[in-house]
Amino acid sequence: MKEVVHCVAVGVVDEREKGAVMVVHGRVKNGVIVLDEAVSLPEGARVEVVVRSQPGQAGETMSSAEHERMKELLDRIAAMPIEGSDEPFSGADHDSILYGQR
Q: How far apart are CA 19 and CA 32, in angstroms?
A: 25
> Residues 44-86: pLDDT tens digits?
877 777 777 655 555 567 788 888 999 999 999 888 877 666 7
Contact assessment for residue 36 and residue 24, using Cβ atoms and an 8 Å cutoff: yes
Mean pLDDT over the full length of the chain: 74
pTM: 0.36
Domain count of the fold of the chain: 1
Identify whether 41 is part of a domain.
yes
Dihedral of the alpha carbons of 7, 25, 49, 23, in degrees to the nearest 10? -90
Lowest mean pLDDT among 4-13, 36-45, 81-90: 4-13
Q: How far apart are CA 93 and CA 102, in angstroms?
A: 12
What is the residue range of 43's domain? 6-53
- Over the Cα atoms of the chain, what is R_g? 24
Identify whether 37 is part of a domain.
yes
pLDDT for res 102: 63
Identify whether 27 is part of a domain.
yes
Q: Which of 37, 19, 26 is nearest to 3 (CA)?
A: 26
